[in-house]
Protein backbone atom coordinates (compact mmCIF):
# COMPACT_ATOMS: atom_id res chain seq x y z
CA UNK A 1 0.00 0.00 0.00
CA UNK A 2 1.41 3.36 -1.01
CA UNK A 3 -0.73 5.46 1.35
CA UNK A 4 -0.18 6.22 5.05
CA UNK A 5 -3.78 5.25 5.88
CA UNK A 6 -7.04 4.19 4.29
CA UNK A 7 -8.49 7.66 4.88
CA UNK A 8 -5.64 9.14 2.85
CA UNK A 9 -6.23 6.66 0.04
CA UNK A 10 -9.92 7.53 0.03
CA UNK A 11 -9.44 11.27 -0.02
CA UNK A 12 -6.75 10.99 -2.72
CA UNK A 13 -9.20 9.11 -4.92
CA UNK A 14 -11.99 11.61 -4.18
CA UNK A 15 -9.79 14.54 -5.14
CA UNK A 16 -8.72 12.70 -8.28
CA UNK A 17 -12.36 12.04 -9.25
CA UNK A 18 -13.28 15.67 -8.63
CA UNK A 19 -10.42 16.79 -10.90
CA UNK A 20 -11.38 14.37 -13.67
CA UNK A 21 -15.11 15.16 -13.52
CA UNK A 22 -14.46 18.90 -13.53
CA UNK A 23 -12.30 18.66 -16.64
CA UNK A 24 -14.77 16.31 -18.34
CA UNK A 25 -17.53 18.87 -17.73
CA UNK A 26 -15.51 21.41 -19.73
CA UNK A 27 -14.77 18.76 -22.37
CA UNK A 28 -18.50 18.12 -22.73
CA UNK A 29 -19.45 21.80 -22.73
CA UNK A 30 -17.12 22.90 -25.55
CA UNK A 31 -17.78 19.98 -27.89
CA UNK A 32 -21.34 18.76 -27.35
CA UNK A 33 -22.52 22.10 -25.94
CA UNK A 34 -20.93 24.90 -27.98
CA UNK A 35 -20.08 22.77 -31.02
CA UNK A 36 -23.34 20.83 -31.43
CA UNK A 37 -26.41 21.54 -29.25
CA UNK A 38 -25.99 25.32 -29.05
CA UNK A 39 -24.13 25.68 -32.35
CA UNK A 40 -27.10 27.27 -34.12
CA UNK A 41 -27.57 29.85 -31.39
CA UNK A 42 -23.84 30.64 -31.27
CA UNK A 43 -23.69 30.97 -35.05
CA UNK A 44 -25.41 34.35 -34.61
CA UNK A 45 -22.17 35.61 -33.04
CA UNK A 46 -19.13 36.32 -35.24
CA UNK A 47 -15.63 35.58 -34.03
CA UNK A 48 -12.50 36.26 -36.13
CA UNK A 49 -14.60 35.91 -39.29
CA UNK A 50 -16.16 32.62 -38.20
CA UNK A 51 -19.67 31.88 -37.01
CA UNK A 52 -18.95 30.99 -33.39
CA UNK A 53 -20.77 27.62 -33.28
CA UNK A 54 -19.01 26.49 -36.45
CA UNK A 55 -15.67 27.65 -35.04
CA UNK A 56 -16.15 25.65 -31.84
CA UNK A 57 -17.06 22.55 -33.85
CA UNK A 58 -14.10 22.71 -36.24
CA UNK A 59 -11.41 24.58 -34.28
CA UNK A 60 -12.12 25.73 -30.72
CA UNK A 61 -13.05 22.42 -29.18
CA UNK A 62 -9.78 20.85 -30.36
CA UNK A 63 -7.68 23.62 -28.77
CA UNK A 64 -9.59 23.18 -25.51
CA UNK A 65 -9.04 19.39 -25.59
CA UNK A 66 -5.27 19.89 -25.78
CA UNK A 67 -5.33 22.34 -22.90
CA UNK A 68 -7.45 19.99 -20.77
CA UNK A 69 -4.97 17.13 -21.00
CA UNK A 70 -2.03 19.29 -19.95
CA UNK A 71 -4.00 20.81 -17.08
CA UNK A 72 -4.91 17.30 -15.97
CA UNK A 73 -1.30 16.09 -16.18
CA UNK A 74 -0.10 19.09 -14.17
CA UNK A 75 -2.77 18.80 -11.47
CA UNK A 76 -2.64 15.01 -11.20
CA UNK A 77 1.13 15.13 -10.76
CA UNK A 78 0.72 17.75 -8.03
CA UNK A 79 -1.90 15.58 -6.34
CA UNK A 80 0.48 12.59 -6.34
CA UNK A 81 3.13 14.73 -4.64
CA UNK A 82 0.66 16.00 -2.05
CA UNK A 83 -0.18 12.44 -0.98
CA UNK A 84 3.37 11.22 -1.52
CA UNK A 85 2.37 8.56 -4.05
CA UNK A 86 4.41 9.90 -6.97
CA UNK A 87 7.05 7.83 -8.70
CA UNK A 88 10.70 8.20 -7.73
Partner 1 sequence: MSVQALTFLIVGLSFALYIGIAIWSRAGSTKDFYVAGGGVPPVMNGMATAADWMSAASFISMAGIISFVGYDGSVYLMGWTGGYVLLALCMAPYLRKFGKFTVPDFIGERYYSQTARVVAVVCAIFICFTYIAGQMRGVGVVFSRFLEVEVDTGVYIGMAVVFFYAVLGGMKGITYTQVAQYCVLIFAFMVPAIFISVMMTGHVIPQIGFGSTVVDAAGNDTGVYLLEKLDGLQTQLGFNEYTEGSKSTIDVFAITAALMVGTAGLPHVIVRFFTVPRVKDARTSAGWALVFIAVLYTTVPAVSVFSRVNMIETINGPDGKGVAHETAPDWIKNWERTGLIKWNDKNGDGLMYYGKGKIDDTSTNEMKIDNDIIVLATPEIADLPAWVIALVAAGGLAAALSTSAGLLLVISTSVSHDLLKKNFLPDISDKKELMYARTAAAVGIVIAGYFGINPPGFVAAVVAFAFGLAASSLFPAIVMGIFSKRMNKEGAIAGMVLGLGFTASYIIYFKFINPAANVPDNWLFGISPEGIGMVGMIINFVVAVVVSKMTADVPEEVQQMVDSIRFPKGAGEASGH
- Which residues bind to partner 1, rule: CB under 8 A? 1-3, 9, 12-13, 16, 20, 23-24, 27, 31-32, 35-37, 39, 43, 48-51, 54-55, 57-59, 61-63, 65-66, 68-70, 72-73, 76-77, 80, 83-87
Q: Which is nearer to partner 1, 7 or 87 (CB)?
A: 87
How many other CB atoms are found less than 10 A from the CB of residue 80? 15
Plot region of 50 (φ>0 → left; ψ -120 to 50 → alpha; else → beta): beta
- Residues contacting residue 73 through CB under 8 Å, at least 6 positions apart: none
Helix (H) or strand (E) holding 51: strand 50-51
Closest approach of partner 1 to the CB of residue 82, in Å: 11
Q: How far is the CB of 7 from partner 1 (least distance, A)?
A: 14
Amino acid sequence: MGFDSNEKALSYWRENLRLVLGLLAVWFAVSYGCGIVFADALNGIHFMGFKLGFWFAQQGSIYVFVALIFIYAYKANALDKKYNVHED
